[in-house]
Structure 1
Amino acid sequence: MSDDAVPATSRDRGRPGFLTTVVGCFTVLVLVPVLVVGTYLAAAVAFTGWPPNLNPFAEETVDRTGASVLKSLTEISEYHAATGHYETVVDVEKDVRFVPGWLNGERVLYVGKGDVDAVVDFSELDERRVELSEDGTTVTVTLPQPTVDEPTLDVADSYIAHRDEGLVNRFQGSEVEREAQLRAIEQMTSAATGEGLLVDLAKENTTAMLRGLFGSLGYTDVTVTFDDEAR
């Protein structure tokens, strides 16, 4: 009998069995790896316990004792709390007495650029400066005043805007540029110290840092003062 002579109902009757077999095989192929992995994990947990980073019931220990907190702070030693960028113009002129400038003399107009840090010293902190409450909720920290660190002159970015040299100076070494650099550093230090903005910013940043640090340890009331404010 030809294939065309087979009733439609007979041909359709064979297809569900085939589909069931395919689906059944697919289900077995999917479930077997899952069951194997599940069995392996169950055995691993039974013998070794959950890995620390995967165990949802793992306990975390936070050391909030005074000695531990002090050690963490003193290890910071110097906290660079703020940085200011400064630009200054230095005019340095060197002349030889009784000799005209066009013959022997030098003048340099130097533009100095650099950064200045305000630093807070944590190295001397002790129990008197870090007071912790017995219930572990309150801490008071008394810090020394921020100090202005020595500026870092960016030699690559600084430059000589103008230079005048006498005839003699063109054939001999000159230290005028180095002197201009030293004066630029002095002017940056004076600016950073005199205006007070860098020190104020250092206080704000240090206070924010310590509040975040102690807050992460569970302290809810964090007070930060500096020596001049504590008196």
Structure 2
Amino acid sequence: MDTKETHVAPERRSRTARTVGRITVTVVVTAALLVLVLRFLPVPGLGDLFGSRTHDRTGPAVLKSLRDLSRFEGAAGDYQVVVDLEHDAPFLPDGIRGTRTLYVGAGSVSAYVEMGGLGQQAVTVDADRTSASLRLPHAKLGAAALDPARSYAVSKQRGLLDRLGDFFSDNPSGEQAVQKVAVQRIGEAAKASGLEQRAERNTAAVLEGMLHSLGFTSVTVTFA
């Protein structure tokens, strides 16, 4: 019995491969164009076909601790800072290794007077209960707190190596560094704005009003 073998010419195989390649590229390009069309020119009934959805599977918050506060917050300030933070490598161009982030940080700082440690010597009342003197500690600044609703990154520039690092990182494009700088600058601004002195004036005014309502005609509040 004779056996016939079929041989495909190399030219024919090459043409077939090119044809398959063209078809594949055409399908990919067509799909990409279809996604763009549906994204920017939504068709009724198909507008959400390639859209994104958000699934909130967050569990309830768990109470970790409770603290009793004995402070009076006499003043608070809102601050905003524009952070321009850049990291680069000495011997590599910025396009290869380096990051630069422009970040707008908005937050608040409060000033308070701690009254939990006051002893009997802090309050002096005369025999007629018409005059009272209070000696309080100086006001202190609380920790600066960023407001995530009003803080945002304006721009981010990253080199090639940094982009690759973000690809394999658990926290790509983290903003901890710029947030830390923003908190520091907001705290410095609070110190320079006289927030502590304002808190002391407001605290003294509140205590004087309370004691006057109790019948005291002379009230003196000092901070030391």
Q: TM-score with structure 2 length normalisation? A: 0.64
1:206 partnered with 2:203: yes
Q: Return the structure number with greater helix share.
A: 1
| Aligned equivalents of 1:76, 1:99: Cα separation in 2 | 52
Equivalences, count = 152
Shift, 1:180, TM fit: 0.6
Which SS does the other structure have where 1:135 is aligned? coil
Show CA shifts across 1:86-109 (max 9, x none): 001111111133221111211001
Partner of 1:180: 178
Equivalent of 1:83 in 76, 80, 92: 76
| Aligned counterparts of 2:145 and 2:91: Cα–Cα separation in 1 | 38
Q: What are the ranges of 5 or more consecutive residues in structure 1 without an aligned counterpart?
A: 1-74
Moved over 6 A (4+): none
Residues 76 and 154 of structure 1, relative CA distance in 2, 3 Å threshold: closer
TM superposition shift of 1:76: 6.3
Return the alpha-carbon distance in structure 1 between the equivalents of residues 186 and 97 of structure 2.
30
Asked if 2 retains the 8 angstrom alpha-carbon contact of 1:91 and 1:110, the reply is yes
Structure 2 equivalent of residue 46 of structure 1: none
Which structure: larger Rg? 1
Q: Match for 1:110: what amino acid?
A: Y
Q: Which residue of 2 aligns with 1:45?
A: none
Query: For residues 97 and 176 of structure 1, do their structure 2 counterparts lie closer, same or farther at Cα, with a shift above 3 Å needed?
Result: farther
> SS of 2:73's equivalent?
strand
Identity %: 38
Task: Say if 1:87 and 1:77 are closer, same or farther in 2 by CA, change over 3 A.
Answer: same
- RMSD, aligned CA: 1.7
What corresponds to 2:129 in structure 1?
136
TM-score (norm 1): 0.62
Tell me the amino acid that sits aligned with residue 190 of structure 2. A
SS of 1:179 mapped into structure 2: helix
For 2:222, the equivalent position in structure 1 comes to 225
The separation in 1 between residues aligned to 2:179 and 2:77, in whole angstroms, is 18
Structure 2: 5+ residue stretches without partners: 1-67
Which of 87, 104, 107 is equivalent to 1:111?
Answer: 104
